Amino acid sequence: LTFRVGLVQTTSGPDPALNTERHVELVREAARRGAQIVCLQEMYRSPYFCREENAGLFDWAETVPGPSTEAFAKVAKEHSLVIIVPIFEKRATGLYHNSAVILDADGSTLGLYRKMHIPDDPLFFEKFYFTPGDLGFRAFDTRYGRIATLICWDQWYPEGARLAALSGANILFYPTAIGWHPFEKATHGASQRAAWQTIQRSHAIANGIYVAAANRIGFEGPPDNGLEFWGSSFISDPFGVVIAEASVDKEEILIAECSTARMEEVRRGWPFLRDRRIDAYGPIVNRWLAWPHERSDWPGKFSPVPWVYAEFIRYVSLHERVRILVLDAAERKSIERVLRKAGVNLNAIDFYLRPTDRSWTRDFCPIFVHDATGRTVATDWIFNGWAKYPNHNRDNAIPKFVASRLKMERLEPGLVLEGGSIDVNGAGLLLTTEECLLSDVQARNPGHTREQIEAAFARYFGIRKTLWLNRGIAGDDTHGHVDDLARFTGARTIVTVVEPNKSDANHEPLRENLKLLRAMRTLDGQPFRIATLPMPAPVYFDGQRLPASYANFYIANRHVLVPVFNDPNDRVALNTLARLFPTRTIVPIYCGDLVLGLGTLHCMTQQQPLSLA
């Protein structure tokens, strides 16, 4: 696949209509010169007004759709162009963004990017005008390829470029308005411009993608307190080679041909994305939950449960998006009230209106995997209520709903499997139990052999070796889920629960599993590092033993959230996990009430990794 990119570098005066007319003609000229994807400079429709704080300048903002989208949609359709149109967006009364609209070659609007990083420096007073973006770092499928755009100040942050690349973008555009302060140019001008180009070329190299930056030119403002925009728009190939570059002070249209074959060549020779150590620092992901509503799961003790969920979400949403399945719009409003009271940032929450039977998403949500190309796909395993509860049909339909909403490929293995019954190390190994997957009690797949189940793990998860433990913990109504028992904390490290009290029902099964773990080997024949967690004292409610376990911890991007039970062993478990996860903050969450529903923190979540393609 090849595609031709055009960048427009010019000045912008005080008349928005005239600026639009001029840029329309420049885009037409780019099309005549063979461009297929054209990017304009940041806020092309006006001077760079952020040199001052002036409330009257909000009048320059426009809506989407609005004057810019109307004008350029006609050009896009007429010339079969993809156009990136950076605008000063009026989202609502008193709410403004620094945005870029992506128009496809038929004139349709593919979507919108809103600038995430907002500067506040001398002559760059953008925080006065713009609310930070809330749409994330996205890629858009256009007629000529998959593209992403960030805006100006975003270019100094590697995280945005990486997320755009992981979303599958072939090229990353940076519409820009950057220049020199008059009193700094003589001393720092050359190094500032060099740093600006270097950081963007580094994004190209680190991610193996094309990068294109469109800057403006000209001097704006008073002679002693204005900005001299340094132009120098450029296009870099996936190894940081500048294949087209404009001058510092002339109006120009840059044209360059880009090729996915060149991306493939670079990524094969310099496989930076392949060699990411996601086992060490964790991918940035979305987390799925279903809001608790089945009161019979917590008989006589439901009222504290939503507040446990809210406290959990408060921590998780600090560094990742949380997607919550809710029954209906009325429940959503109720949930929002709870989350606000708990101090949750609702901008990090996505709600999906879809009824469920229960809220244990680990077991019925799709299990997301990367295919051979690096794309994220959803595996849709059958959920039959743990072969125990008849009300499971709504939960079983969730993977199809989620994959459809995400426009994601869905694979159907045709076997029963819950996410809590397995744990993986991300390097070809999987932990599970015979009690859950091979027993005739609560049988998931009657008639299927160990070899057939292992073959399914190999086909759909890329598993090269399945590690079988025996029995799970007392009180577990799933009949042997491994996530209450033993978990990977690294590619070669497993932590498992132990019970020294010989009179406790857990003692013998856990002693047996520890012996099995110590005899297991990695793919290269080495023993695992085995760490142990204590069990809390048995937790009962109304005479029923509950599956309280510290192994049901949840690994977030920056935290490890750990169920605790007001037990002396809470401290021991937290200290052990702190040693196993030295780069993450360990957060205890009281689960003495939540565990009455026969699950805790890991059971209530399912992760969705970003695409690597």
Over residues 495-511, the pLDDT tens digits come to: 999 999 999 999 999 99
The token duo for 302 is: 């439901």
Over residues 201-219, the pLDDT tens digits come to: 999 999 999 999 999 999 9
First vs last C-alpha separation in the chain: 15
- pLDDT for the residue numbered 280: 46
Over residues 549-590, the pLDDT tens digits come to: 999 999 998 899 999 999 999 999 999 999 999 989 999 999
Q: Rounded distance, CA 264 to CA 261, Å?
A: 5
**Across the beta sheet with 376-379, what order do the strands follow?**
367-370, 376-379, 410-411
- pLDDT for the residue numbered 463: 94
CB 211 within 8 A of CB 7: no
- pLDDT for the residue numbered 279: 44
Surface-to-core class of residue 407, CB atoms within 10 Å of its CB (0-12 exposed, 13-18 middle, 19+ buried)? exposed
Q: Rounded distance, CA 172 to CA 213, Å?
A: 8
Closest C-alpha among 552, 561, 582 to residue 315:
561
Pairing of strands 465-469, 145-149: unpaired
Q: Rounded distance, CA 331 to CA 339, Å?
A: 12
Over residues 463-494, the pLDDT tens digits come to: 999 999 999 999 999 999 999 999 999 989 99
Least confident of 6-10, 170-174, 314-318, 392-396: 314-318
* Entry pTM: 0.60
Q: Which pLDDT band, with edges at 50, 70 and 90, does 281 fall under?
A: very low
At the second CATH level, the architecture of 2-269 is 4-Layer Sandwich (3.60)
Q: ω into residue 582 within 30 of 0, thus cis?
A: no
Provide the annotated active-site residues: 42, 115, 152
**191 pLDDT higher than 60:** yes
Over residues 391-447, the pLDDT tens digits come to: 999 999 999 999 999 999 999 999 999 999 999 998 899 999 999 999 999 999 999
CB 103 within 8 A of CB 128: no
Q: Which residues pair with 241 in a beta bridge?
A: none
Ramachandran area for residue 458 (φ above 0: left; ψ -120 to 50: alpha; else beta): alpha
The structural domains of the chain, with segments of one domain joined by +, span 2-269, 278-609
Which string of b and e fits 441-464 if b means at least 16 CB within 10 Å? ebbbbeebeeeebbebbeebbbbe
One DSSP character per residue, 592-608 reads TTGGGGS--TTTT-EEE
Over residues 414-429, the pLDDT tens digits come to: 999 999 999 999 889 9
Pairing of strands 493-498, 529-534: parallel
Q: At what angle do helices 158-166 and 185-207 cross, to 10 degrees?
A: 30
Percent of the chain having pLDDT more than 90? 89
Q: Rounded distance, CA 199 to CA 414, Å?
A: 48
Q: Which pLDDT band, with edges at 50, 70 and 90, does 286 fall under?
A: confident
- Identify the helix (H) or strand (E) that includes residue 312: helix 305-316
Give me the mean pLDDT over the 298-303 stretch: 96
Over residues 128-140, the pLDDT tens digits come to: 999 999 887 888 9
The CATH number fitting domain 278-609, selected from 3.30.70.270, 3.30.930.10, 3.75.10.10, 3.40.350.10: 3.75.10.10
CB 588 within 8 A of CB 143: no
**147 pLDDT higher than 60:** yes
- pLDDT for the residue numbered 612: 60
CB within 8 Å of 159: residues ≥ 6 apart: 284
Least confident of 53-62, 172-181, 364-373, 571-580: 364-373
Give me the mean pLDDT over the 376-404 stretch: 97
**458 pLDDT higher than 80:** yes
- pLDDT for the residue numbered 592: 97
Give me the mean pLDDT over the 23-52 stretch: 97
CB 105 within 8 A of CB 142: yes
Pairing of strands 606-609, 285-290: antiparallel
Looking at every residue in the chain, the average pLDDT score rounds to: 94
Sign of the dihedral defined by the CA atoms of residues 75, 76, 82, 85, in that order = positive
- pLDDT for the residue numbered 137: 85
Closest C-alpha among 553, 559, 492 to residue 528:
492
Q: Which pLDDT band, with edges at 50, 70 and 90, does 284 fall under?
A: low
CB within 8 Å of 76: residues ≥ 6 apart: 82, 83, 103, 104, 105, 106, 107
Closest C-alpha among 197, 207, 143 to residue 174:
197
CB 598 within 8 A of CB 476: yes
**14 pLDDT higher than 90:** yes
CB within 8 Å of 66: residues ≥ 6 apart: 87
- pLDDT for the residue numbered 320: 86
- pLDDT for the residue numbered 277: 54
Give me the mean pLDDT over the 587-594 stretch: 98
Closest C-alpha among 581, 578, 607 to residue 316:
607
Q: Rounded distance, CA 549 to CA 537, Å?
A: 10
